[in-house]
C-alpha cells in the first residue's frame, strides 16, 4: 500500500480572501497550539468547530477538486473513493465532478438506497468515483459496504484521529482484489494543513506496521 500526501497549490480561481484568511489564521494562538503538536510528531484532538478545518475553505476545496478532475481526465485516478467529514462537502464534490457520476454514501441513508448505491458502484462502468461520509464508520450501513472495485482512497477533509482514518482505509479496501493500493491526503502546500497531513501519514503507517 502506498500512503502519501498530495500538496496542492491554490488555483487562481480560489477565493483570494480565503487564501488571505489562511495566512492570518496560521499566526493565531490556536494555530500555534496545533503547530506545537504537529512539530512534536503528534496530532492534537481538534474540534471541527474550532476553525482548523473551516479555515482552508474554498481555497482547498477548489484546488482539491481541480486536482482530482485533472488526474481523472489523465486517467491516473481510476474509481477513487473520497472521504469527507461534512455533508455539504459531499454534495459539493458530487456536483463539481458530475461528469464521472459520483455515488454518495451517507450514514443516514435507508438500507435499501444504500445497497442500491453500493450495487451501482460495484457494477456500473459509468460510475467512476464515490464520496463517503465519516459517520458511515459508526452506521449500521457499515455492514453493507463492499467496495470491491476501488484501489484508490482520497482523504480531503479528515479528522485528526489516525485510528479512525485507518478504519476508513480498511473499510474501503477490505474486499479489494488489487495488490497495489493508493491512499492520498490532499492538503494545501506549505501550510499547517500540509504538515499535519504528513504527520497523519506517519501515524497511519505506524498503525499498519504494528499489526
Largest CA distance in the chain: 49
pLDDT in tens, 90-134: 999 999 999 999 999 999 899 999 999 999 999 999 999 999 999
pLDDT at 46: 78
pLDDT at 197: 96
Radius of gyration of the chain (CA): 17
Instruction: State whether residue 177 is helix, strand or coil.
Output: coil
pLDDT at 174: 85
Give the closest residue to 97 by CA, choosing from 131, 123, 125, 121.
131
pLDDT, average across residues 16-41: 93
How many whole angstroms separate alpha carbon 69 and alpha carbon 124?
20
pLDDT at 189: 96
Tell me: pLDDT of 50 over 80. Answer: no
pLDDT at 211: 67
Report the percentage of the chain scoring pLDDT > 70.
Answer: 99
CB atoms within 10 A of CB 204: 20
pLDDT in tens, 148-196: 888 899 999 899 999 999 999 999 988 877 778 899 999 999 999 999 9
pLDDT at 151: 87
pLDDT at 193: 95
CB atoms within 10 A of CB 88: 8
pLDDT at 81: 96
pLDDT, average across residues 36-63: 88
Whole-prediction pTM: 0.94
pLDDT at 48: 64
Q: List b or e across 42-80, with b for residues whose CB sees 16 or more CB atoms inside 10 angstroms.
A: ebbebeeeeebbebbbbbbbbbbbbbbeebbeeeebebb
DSSP character string of 40-68 = TT------TTSSHHHHTHHHHHHHHHHHH
- Can you count the helices (H) and strands (E) in the chain? 8, 6
pLDDT, average across residues 52-66: 92
Contact 62, 7 (CB under 8 A): no
How many whole angstroms separate alpha carbon 164 and alpha carbon 23?
29
The listed CATH number (3.40.50.300, 3.30.460.10, 3.40.980.10, 3.40.50.970) that belongs to domain 2-209: 3.40.50.300
Amino acid at each position: 500500500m502506498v500512503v502519501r500526501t498530495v500538496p496542492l497549490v491554490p488555483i487562481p480561481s480560489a477565493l483570494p480572501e480565503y487564501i488571505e484568511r489562511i495566512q492570518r489564521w496560521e499566526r493565531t494562538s490556536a494555530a500555534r497550539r496545533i503547530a506545537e503538536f504537529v512539530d512534536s510528531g503528534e496530532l492534537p484532538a481538534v474540534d471541527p468547530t474550532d476553525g482548523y478545518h473551516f479555515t482552508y475553505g474554498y481555497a482547498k476545496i477548489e484546488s482539491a477538486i481541480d486536482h482530482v478532475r485533472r488526474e481523472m481526465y489523465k486517467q491516473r485516478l481510476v474509481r477513487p473513493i473520497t472521504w469527507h467529514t461534512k455533508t455539504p462537502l459531499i454534495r459539493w464534490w458530487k456536483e463539481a465532478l458530475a461528469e464521472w457520476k459520483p455515488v454518495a454514501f451517507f450514514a443516514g441513508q435507508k438500507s435499501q438506497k444504500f445497497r442500491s448505491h453500493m450495487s451501482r458502484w460495484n457494477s456500473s462502468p459509468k460510475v467512476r468515483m464515490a464520496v463517503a461520509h465519516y459517520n458511515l464508520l459508526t452506521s449500521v450501513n457499515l455492514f453493507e459496504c463492499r467496495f470491491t472495485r476501488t484501489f484508490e482512497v482520497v482523504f480531503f477533509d479528515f479528522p485528526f484521529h489516525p485510528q479512525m482514518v485507518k478504519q476508513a482505509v480498511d473499510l474501503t479496501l477490505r474486499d479489494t482484489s488489487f495488490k497495489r493500493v493508493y491512499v492520498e491526503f490532499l492538503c494545501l502546500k506549505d501550510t499547517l494543513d500540509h504538515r499535519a497531513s504528513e504527520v497523519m501519514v506517519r501515524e497511519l503507517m505506524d498503525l499498519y506496521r504494528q499489526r
